[in-house]
Chain A
Amino acid sequence: MTTASPTLPLPSSGPPAPPLERARLPPRELVGVALQGLRTRKLRAALSALGIAIGIGAMVAVVGVSASAQANLLAEIDALGTNLLTVSPGQNFLGQNEVLPDTSVPMIGHMHDVLSDVAIYQLSQNVYRTPFVPSEQTGGIGVDAAGDNLPQVVGTTLASGHFLDSVSARFPEAVLGAQAASILQISQVGGHLMVYLGNRWFTVVGILKPVVLDSSLDSTVFISLPVAERLFQTQPNPSEIYVRANQNDVIGVSNLLAPTADPENSSGVDVTRPSDALAARAAAKGQFTTLLLGLGAVALLVGAIGIANIMVISVLERRGEIGLRRALGATRGHITAQFLAESALLAAIGGVAGLALGAGATEIYAVSRHEPFVVPTYALIAAPAAGFVIGALAGLYPAMKAARLSPTEALRA
């Protein structure tokens, strides 16, 4: 038996140490390790992914429902035609109202690529149900003279009766806009239904359906231009000209309308495309409801905290595994990466489930409302990606905690 000698002759400089092989964990193996970790705790993984799924599902549903509603509105607008243009007098730089010259209607009618057009002429008259209604109770109803192709050009039909025709050009007949009819409490044409207009009785021959592209026409009563000229000596300056342009050259026609309507003063002419305003409104309507999105975000936050919680518990429970992996050659970085990958994958799976949930909710909504089913394509990538990022963030602290564990203590556990 020999006792250990206190010192051994240790050469201070020996041969150079052989090159040391590195510890490696290729990305594919990392994913395998993370999936293995999730597979061994399926129920727990599913429950913690559920939090993320609900949050992302809520957000996808909000986005999907509003996209479906928007698609529906745009489809309606498309059906009405996006080739309707309106020409109206603008204001000069002093703020005074301009006047469209009486030549503007025939000039526009002769334009290339104008399919149809119709002018309306605002009359300073009021309409009442009877002469006994106080004169100031106009109900906000305007009176316009109109060409007889107005419904076709603005894209509406009659709810009842017929529009102004050749008879109306000679006799006092009136057609009511949808809202005007409801204010006057007339729902159907029949018998000798009359309204009192400009101190005269007019026979109501028709009621229009709402005009989606220009709702100002709904609160108007229309009479024919010849009758208006004869009875009210109206000036022949149109207050609005509706133009249907060739669908292939709406912009071109739109650009030429002002100089054609008033060659001397084209800046005094306003040209608008009503479908643009509606499309803009549809887009605004399609914007996500901020409150609902906020709720989704709260659900996501709760889900993320749930994942962080589970991962912290997981790290404590798996101290033995962490110690073993360190003994097998894992660096601190490998341990961090393993737990980050687990948490990110878990939440990404939650994101995919949330996408399915949200799409399902959107589908139910769209079917029940007879609207098209739309989930924006970006959601297909954004939902799992959002889950992945949230999971990585939630896993950051537990993963660092795992990497900081002393391997010997972990092995003793």
Chain B
Amino acid sequence: MSIRLDHVVKEYPGGVTALRDVTVEVPDGDQVAVVGPSGSGKTTMLTILGTLERPTSGSVHVADQDVGAASDQRLAGLRAHQIGFVFQSFHLQEAMTAVDNVATGMLYTGAPLRRRREAARAALERVGLGHRLEFRPRQLSGGERQRVAIARAFAKRPRIILADEPTGNLDTKSGGEVIDLLVELGTDGATLMLITHDPGIAGRFGRQLHMRDGEIVADERT
């Protein structure tokens, strides 16, 4: 089981409860869309799954690790090796070429630069950007930037990919291409969890979690 949340509650200072009582399991290799209105706790759940935040209560297991018991170092190791993130705003570094942006995605695995660059080139070829290796983000279109970010997330071959509205900043056509790419890369075995507002996109996933007010109100499998 790659993801397991059990009675997870997340409260922020000031009395805001982002997650009320979330219990969910995602087996290895599953592709899950998370849908729900703004403020329903989708992003909070994703950051907890991504071990960037700890829950207020409840237990979290990611890639067979008990997140609640692990130290900052262990969680960083988990993120470095097992979790890939894709963000709505890409978070690419402007000063770096596409290859170096992707290679930086593996920086904290401790792999030497030559190996990281090799893997980065291969990943960029895989997302169809073999002809853009030395381009900087501002020389790329929005869809191409998100594909660089996807290459960065996949290059280290993580067990889990977490994508937070990856098409939010893209037009419908390039958004569709990005989803195609994610779904296709996911068939390699990585668990994919994707947040989206778009019912059309959600419909392409075999499992959909509907959230409202910090709770999972429906767990649909199609």
Contacts and interface: CB of A to CB of B under 8 A. Distances in A.
Nearest to B209: A4
A17 to B, nearest CB: 5
B108 A20 contact: no
Interface string A1-33: 111111110100000011011111110010011
Interface in B82-108: 85, 87, 91, 93-96, 104-105, 107-108
Interface in A322-341: 323-334
B220 interface: yes
B216 interface: yes
Given A23-B77, A328-B80, A329-B76, A10 B6 contact: yes
A36 interface: yes
Given A327-B85, A329-B109, A408-B47, A21 B23 contact: no
Contacts of A10: 4, 6, 59
Interface in A24-48: 24-26, 29, 32-33, 36, 39-40
Contacts of B47: 407-408
B66 interface: yes
Contact of B23 (A4, A24, A334): A4
B198 interface: no
A328 B24 contact: no
B219 A4 contact: yes
Given A21-B80, A24-B109, A327-B79, A411 B91 contact: yes
Nearest to A326: B52
B140 interface: no
B13 to A, nearest CB: 11
Contacts of B166: none
B113 A20 contact: no
Interface in B1-54: 4, 6-7, 21, 23-25, 47, 50, 52-53
B76 A331 contact: yes
Contacts of B21: 6
B80 A5 contact: no
A154 to B, nearest CB: 70
A29 B53 contact: no
A327 B52 contact: yes
Interface string B58-83: 01000011100010111011111100
Contacts of A276: none
Contacts of B52: 326-327, 407-408, 411
Contacts of A8: 4, 6, 23, 25
A5 B218 CA distance: 10
A328 B104 contact: yes
Given A6-B23, A22-B77, A327-B79, A1 B220 contact: yes
Given A6-B23, A10-B4, A40 B95 contact: yes
B110 A17 contact: no
Contacts of B77: 20-23, 329
Contacts of B107: 25, 29, 33, 325, 328-330
Contact of A329 (B80, B96, B216): B80
Contacts of B94: 40
A320 interface: yes
A406 B107 CA distance: 20
B91 A329 contact: no
A1 B217 CA distance: 10
Interface of B: 4, 6-7, 21, 23-25, 47, 50, 52-53, 59, 64-66, 70, 72-74, 76-81, 85, 87, 91, 93-96, 104-105, 107-110, 113, 209, 216-221
Interface of A: 1-8, 10, 17-18, 20-26, 29, 32-33, 36, 39-40, 320-321, 323-334, 406-408, 411
The list of the 4 closest CB pairs from A to B, nearest first, reads A329-B80, A24-B110, A329-B108, A40-B95
